[in-house]
Copies of this chain bind each other. A is one copy, B any other.
Amino acid sequence: MQIAQALEDLTQVLGERLSRSKSDLEQHGRSESYFPMTPPDAVAYPENASEVRRIVQICAQHAIPVVGWGAGTSLEGHGLAVRGGVVVDFSRMNKVLEIRPADMDVTVQPGVTREALNEELRATGLFFPVDPGANATLGGMAMTRASGTTTVRYGSMRDNVLGLHAILADGRRIHTGTRARKSAAGYDLTALFVGSEGTLGLVTELSLRLHGIPEATSAGICSFPDMGSAVAAVQETIQMGIPMARIEFACADTARAFNAYAGTDMAQAPHLMVEFHGSESSVAEDAERFAEIVADHGGSAFQWSAREEERRALWAMRHNGYYAILASRKGARAVVTDICVPISRLAQAVEETQHDIAASPISGPILGHVGDGNFHAILLIDPDRPDQLEAAKALSHRMGQRALQLGGTCTGEHGIGMGKTGLMEAEHGEAWDVMGQIKQALDPQNIMNPGKLVRGT
């Protein structure tokens, strides 16, 4: 590794857009999570794919790690240069390149955030549905296979990336996929890159599916005597084929945090928040049928509304869930967990997790995407108490093991990064080695985001 020569060569290409300022290095050495500060050797701000290619070529020549950076909202330390090297910040590659309303697709640079994209789409009657909460970049969301509140209806990044351009570790520039809605032409490299966390290459362009803004939307909230009843109501709704656009769960502790944060008056009980998309008559019918199912399962009267402002208030509350929970304990930091199980095991997974948290020295309200079987415990720790961080990490690890025992996965949407590599062997067995073989074939020097996802990198 000849870092000095590499940085000189990079400066020749990028000029002042190769930054070594302390503030820049520190800003790109921090994560949203509990990982220690890990500043890179430099931060590069490319403006186009050719520059990204030159960056990778120079780093390859000197065997220097290359780590992509979107909005820095990863919860598993994806953007941290744990072996040093260059962080490639895509904030200057933030253009929406082409919107094609007739095909309901769009081509973007990776640094566009999901909110910026939806802003640009506003006049078209279309929207991009994947919504992980944070205003992440679309490149980052693709690399972590992000999903969120609308996945039950519109799918995750896996379902909404039509194709992409990437620079590989040896500087080759490839494209994957086409603009056709489906293809049977060879290995699905788009799906291989989506979720690869920057370990196979850097994405320089994405084509995404769009969806029509529904003519009408209804949304509402209700509470249940226990988690099992809430999940049973969701299962029945899915089986009846009532198309939910969102279906979110909040535990009693989360409801309490909402009340304190937003001045609401929620019962201290498990809640479901749900939304339907369709025509005016269909969303009313969906809400009525859902209300009947809720009543059958002992839920409270289902209060719903098709009015925009009430709906916005509901989802603003949900989106602020993380901050509401964080605010419920002064000075706390959070370790956010993320397991996903078959829906028949969801109630059990939540209840066992609640018992495990109750027996620990920390607290951890729960919320999640119940239609996908995915939930998060927000484990609250005192940042000055290393024992609490250890307790949270142990709880998170046990949650992952529990998910695997129940036929699920250790991460529904946050990814592996550095935080979950300890569960990959248990989840994938020898298939983890297959991932390693693919990585080795495409990046034999291990320069693309080393230390993440793959064993022993």
Contact of A102 among B145, B235, B241, B416 (CB under 8 A): B235
Chain B residues within an 8 Å CB radius of A144: 184
Q: Is A285 an interface residue (CB 8 A)?
A: yes
Taking a contact as CB atoms under 8 Å apart, the answer to whether A158 and B182 are in contact is yes
Over the window 337-354 of chain A, the binary record of Cβ atoms lying under 8 Å from chain B Cβ atoms (1 yes, 0 no) is 010111110000000000
Among listed A26-34, A273-281, A296-304, interface-contacting one:
A273-281
In the complex the two chains form, what is the Cα distance from A83 to B61 in whole Å?
A: 40
In the complex the two chains form, what is the Cα distance from A159 to B154 in whole Å?
A: 12
Taking a contact as CB atoms under 8 Å apart, the answer to whether A187 and B183 are in contact is no
Taking a contact as CB atoms under 8 Å apart, the answer to whether A184 and B430 are in contact is no
Over the window 143-187 of chain A, the binary record of Cβ atoms lying under 8 Å from chain B Cβ atoms (1 yes, 0 no) is 011110001000110110000000010001111101111111111
Q: Is A135 an interface residue (CB 8 A)?
A: no
In the complex the two chains form, what is the Cα distance from A442 to B435 in whole Å?
A: 10
In the complex the two chains form, what is the Cα distance from A185 to B415 in whole Å?
A: 6
Taking a contact as CB atoms under 8 Å apart, the answer to whether B441 and A182 are in contact is no
Taking a contact as CB atoms under 8 Å apart, the answer to whether A183 and B411 are in contact is yes
Taking a contact as CB atoms under 8 Å apart, the answer to whether B412 and A184 are in contact is yes
Q: Is A41 an interface residue (CB 8 A)?
A: no
Q: Is A431 an interface residue (CB 8 A)?
A: yes
Given the interface pairs A184-B416, A185-B424, the reply to whether A437 lies near B441 with Cβ below 8 Å is yes
In the complex the two chains form, what is the Cα distance from A121 to B412 in whole Å?
A: 28
Taking a contact as CB atoms under 8 Å apart, the answer to whether A151 and B191 are in contact is no
In the complex the two chains form, what is the Cα distance from A404 to B175 in whole Å?
A: 13
Contact of A424 among B186, B194, B374, B432 (CB under 8 A): B186
Over the window 197-217 of chain A, the binary record of Cβ atoms lying under 8 Å from chain B Cβ atoms (1 yes, 0 no) is 000000000000001101100
Q: Is A428 an interface residue (CB 8 A)?
A: yes
Q: Is A2 an interface residue (CB 8 A)?
A: no
Q: How many chain copies?
A: 2
Closest to A76 in B: B184
Q: Is A408 an interface residue (CB 8 A)?
A: yes
Closest to A210 in B: B239
Q: Is A120 an interface residue (CB 8 A)?
A: no
Contact of A340 among B182, B374, B414 (CB under 8 A): B182
Closest to A439 in B: B187
Q: Is A195 an interface residue (CB 8 A)?
A: yes
Taking a contact as CB atoms under 8 Å apart, the answer to whether A192 and B188 are in contact is yes
Taking a contact as CB atoms under 8 Å apart, the answer to whether B158 and A408 are in contact is no
Over the window 413-442 of chain A, the binary record of Cβ atoms lying under 8 Å from chain B Cβ atoms (1 yes, 0 no) is 111100010011001111111110110111
Given the interface pairs A102-B235, A240-B215, the reply to whether A431 lies near B176 with Cβ below 8 Å is yes
Chain B residues within an 8 Å CB radius of A433: 172
In the complex the two chains form, what is the Cα distance from A191 to B188 in whole Å?
A: 6
18 further interface pairs, Cβ-Cβ under 8 Å (given A102-B344, A279-B289): A145-B182, A145-B184, A172-B430, A175-B429, A178-B404, A180-B403, A184-B338, A185-B410, A186-B435, A187-B435, A188-B188, A189-B434, A211-B241, A241-B277, A278-B282, A282-B282, A282-B285, A437-B441
Q: List 17 A-B contacts (CB under 8 A).
A: A105-B342, A144-B184, A172-B433, A179-B408, A180-B372, A180-B412, A181-B372, A181-B373, A183-B411, A184-B412, A186-B424, A187-B438, A188-B195, A189-B431, A278-B282, A438-B438, A441-B441
